[in-house]
Amino acid sequence: MKFKKLNKKGFASEGDKMSFWTIIILPFVTLLVILLIFWAVGMKDIFVNKQIEPVVYESRLIYSGECFAFKDSSTERTYTGVIDSTKFTTEVLRECVPLSGASKHALAVELKTNQGQLVAFLESANWNMNVQSITTSTYLVEIKGNGPGIITFFHKEGK
Protein backbone atom coordinates (compact mmCIF):
# COMPACT_ATOMS: atom_id res chain seq x y z
CA MET A 1 0.00 0.00 0.00
CA LYS A 2 1.39 3.31 -1.06
CA PHE A 3 0.86 6.46 1.02
CA LYS A 4 0.56 9.86 -0.60
CA LYS A 5 2.84 12.62 0.42
CA LEU A 6 1.16 15.69 1.93
CA ASN A 7 2.22 19.23 1.04
CA LYS A 8 3.21 21.90 3.61
CA LYS A 9 -0.41 22.73 4.46
CA GLY A 10 -1.30 19.09 5.11
CA PHE A 11 -3.30 18.55 1.94
CA ALA A 12 -2.86 15.77 -0.54
CA SER A 13 -2.05 16.41 -4.17
CA GLU A 14 -4.45 17.92 -6.75
CA GLY A 15 -5.35 14.44 -8.01
CA ASP A 16 -7.05 13.70 -4.69
CA LYS A 17 -9.21 16.81 -4.99
CA MET A 18 -10.37 15.74 -8.45
CA SER A 19 -11.29 12.28 -7.25
CA PHE A 20 -13.26 13.86 -4.36
CA TRP A 21 -15.28 15.97 -6.81
CA THR A 22 -15.98 13.13 -9.21
CA ILE A 23 -16.70 10.38 -6.70
CA ILE A 24 -18.57 12.28 -3.95
CA ILE A 25 -19.93 15.62 -5.16
CA LEU A 26 -20.97 14.79 -8.75
CA PRO A 27 -23.27 11.87 -7.79
CA PHE A 28 -24.72 13.95 -4.95
CA VAL A 29 -25.56 16.85 -7.28
CA THR A 30 -27.02 14.44 -9.85
CA LEU A 31 -29.23 12.85 -7.20
CA LEU A 32 -30.34 16.27 -6.00
CA VAL A 33 -31.36 17.32 -9.53
CA ILE A 34 -33.33 14.09 -10.02
CA LEU A 35 -35.14 14.62 -6.71
CA LEU A 36 -36.00 18.20 -7.65
CA ILE A 37 -37.50 17.01 -10.95
CA PHE A 38 -39.67 14.42 -9.16
CA TRP A 39 -40.71 17.04 -6.62
CA ALA A 40 -41.72 19.50 -9.37
CA VAL A 41 -43.84 16.84 -11.09
CA GLY A 42 -45.49 15.99 -7.76
CA MET A 43 -46.23 19.65 -7.06
CA LYS A 44 -48.11 19.86 -10.36
CA ASP A 45 -50.47 17.15 -9.12
CA ILE A 46 -51.02 19.06 -5.88
CA PHE A 47 -51.76 22.40 -7.56
CA VAL A 48 -53.96 20.86 -10.26
CA ASN A 49 -56.13 18.96 -7.81
CA LYS A 50 -59.54 18.27 -9.33
CA GLN A 51 -61.15 18.08 -5.90
CA ILE A 52 -60.39 21.71 -5.05
CA GLU A 53 -62.28 23.47 -7.84
CA PRO A 54 -65.81 22.37 -6.80
CA VAL A 55 -65.16 23.38 -3.17
CA VAL A 56 -64.05 26.84 -4.30
CA TYR A 57 -67.25 27.27 -6.35
CA GLU A 58 -69.42 26.15 -3.43
CA SER A 59 -67.65 28.42 -0.93
CA ARG A 60 -67.96 31.43 -3.21
CA LEU A 61 -71.67 30.90 -3.75
CA ILE A 62 -72.53 30.31 -0.08
CA TYR A 63 -70.19 32.81 1.62
CA SER A 64 -69.90 35.74 -0.80
CA GLY A 65 -72.23 38.72 -0.50
CA GLU A 66 -72.04 39.17 -4.28
CA CYS A 67 -73.47 35.67 -4.74
CA PHE A 68 -76.21 33.91 -2.75
CA ALA A 69 -75.27 34.98 0.79
CA PHE A 70 -77.49 37.61 2.42
CA LYS A 71 -75.86 41.04 2.63
CA ASP A 72 -77.46 43.67 4.85
CA SER A 73 -77.61 46.88 2.84
CA SER A 74 -77.59 49.18 5.88
CA THR A 75 -74.53 47.68 7.58
CA GLU A 76 -72.84 46.13 4.51
CA ARG A 77 -72.40 42.96 6.58
CA THR A 78 -72.54 39.60 4.81
CA TYR A 79 -74.24 36.78 6.69
CA THR A 80 -72.43 33.66 5.53
CA GLY A 81 -74.55 30.56 5.34
CA VAL A 82 -77.75 32.63 5.11
CA ILE A 83 -79.12 32.39 1.58
CA ASP A 84 -81.00 35.37 0.16
CA SER A 85 -83.75 33.75 -1.94
CA THR A 86 -84.12 36.94 -4.04
CA LYS A 87 -80.50 36.55 -5.19
CA PHE A 88 -80.87 32.80 -5.86
CA THR A 89 -81.16 33.19 -9.64
CA THR A 90 -79.49 31.77 -12.72
CA GLU A 91 -78.03 35.19 -13.55
CA VAL A 92 -76.28 35.44 -10.16
CA LEU A 93 -75.01 31.84 -10.48
CA ARG A 94 -73.54 32.50 -13.93
CA GLU A 95 -72.03 35.80 -12.82
CA CYS A 96 -70.38 34.34 -9.69
CA VAL A 97 -69.19 31.11 -11.33
CA PRO A 98 -68.70 31.84 -15.03
CA LEU A 99 -68.54 28.33 -16.49
CA SER A 100 -68.75 28.37 -20.27
CA GLY A 101 -68.77 25.68 -22.92
CA ALA A 102 -64.96 25.59 -22.90
CA SER A 103 -64.82 24.60 -19.24
CA LYS A 104 -64.48 20.96 -18.21
CA HIS A 105 -66.73 21.57 -15.20
CA ALA A 106 -70.46 22.25 -14.99
CA LEU A 107 -72.52 23.14 -11.94
CA ALA A 108 -76.14 22.94 -10.84
CA VAL A 109 -77.51 24.15 -7.51
CA GLU A 110 -80.70 23.06 -5.77
CA LEU A 111 -82.23 24.91 -2.82
CA LYS A 112 -84.90 23.23 -0.69
CA THR A 113 -86.62 24.14 2.53
CA ASN A 114 -86.14 21.95 5.58
CA GLN A 115 -89.45 20.22 4.76
CA GLY A 116 -88.14 19.24 1.30
CA GLN A 117 -90.04 21.87 -0.71
CA LEU A 118 -88.03 22.94 -3.77
CA VAL A 119 -87.25 26.66 -3.78
CA ALA A 120 -85.20 26.71 -6.99
CA PHE A 121 -82.92 24.63 -9.24
CA LEU A 122 -80.22 26.52 -11.15
CA GLU A 123 -77.79 25.37 -13.87
CA SER A 124 -74.56 26.80 -15.24
CA ALA A 125 -74.45 27.70 -18.94
CA ASN A 126 -72.66 24.46 -19.85
CA TRP A 127 -74.77 22.04 -17.77
CA ASN A 128 -75.77 19.96 -20.85
CA MET A 129 -72.18 18.90 -21.66
CA ASN A 130 -70.94 15.31 -22.03
CA VAL A 131 -70.29 13.82 -18.62
CA GLN A 132 -67.43 11.77 -17.26
CA SER A 133 -68.55 11.93 -13.62
CA ILE A 134 -71.06 13.67 -11.33
CA THR A 135 -70.47 14.48 -7.67
CA THR A 136 -72.78 16.11 -5.15
CA SER A 137 -72.29 18.14 -1.97
CA THR A 138 -75.02 19.09 0.48
CA TYR A 139 -74.96 21.85 3.11
CA LEU A 140 -77.41 22.99 5.77
CA VAL A 141 -78.13 26.70 5.37
CA GLU A 142 -80.56 29.32 6.57
CA ILE A 143 -82.95 30.68 3.93
CA LYS A 144 -83.73 34.31 4.73
CA GLY A 145 -87.42 34.49 5.54
CA ASN A 146 -88.03 30.71 5.21
CA GLY A 147 -85.93 29.25 8.03
CA PRO A 148 -83.57 26.28 7.72
CA GLY A 149 -82.85 24.85 4.31
CA ILE A 150 -80.67 22.49 2.32
CA ILE A 151 -78.48 23.53 -0.59
CA THR A 152 -77.14 20.80 -2.88
CA PHE A 153 -74.41 21.28 -5.48
CA PHE A 154 -74.17 18.96 -8.48
CA HIS A 155 -70.78 18.99 -10.21
CA LYS A 156 -70.24 17.48 -13.63
CA GLU A 157 -66.76 16.79 -14.91
CA GLY A 158 -66.50 16.57 -18.67
CA LYS A 159 -64.20 14.62 -20.93
Measured distance CA(141)–CA(148) in Å, rounded = 6
- In this predicted structure, the answer to whether residue 41 has a pLDDT above a threshold of 80 is no
> What pLDDT score does 17 carry?
61
Q: Considering the entire predicted model, what is its pTM?
A: 0.65
Q: Is residue 2 part of a domain?
A: no
Q: What is the span of the domain harbouring residue 147?
A: 49-157
Mean pLDDT, the chain, rounded, equals: 81
Tell whether 34 and 63 lie within a shared domain: no
Task: Give the number of other Cβ atoms within 10 Å of residue 81's Cβ.
Answer: 13
Domain count, the chain: 2
H/E element, 155: strand 147-157
- Indicate the burial class of 117 (C-beta count within 10 angstroms; 0-12, 13-18, 19 or more): exposed
pLDDT tens, residue by residue, 92-127: 998 888 877 667 788 899 999 988 888 899 988 888
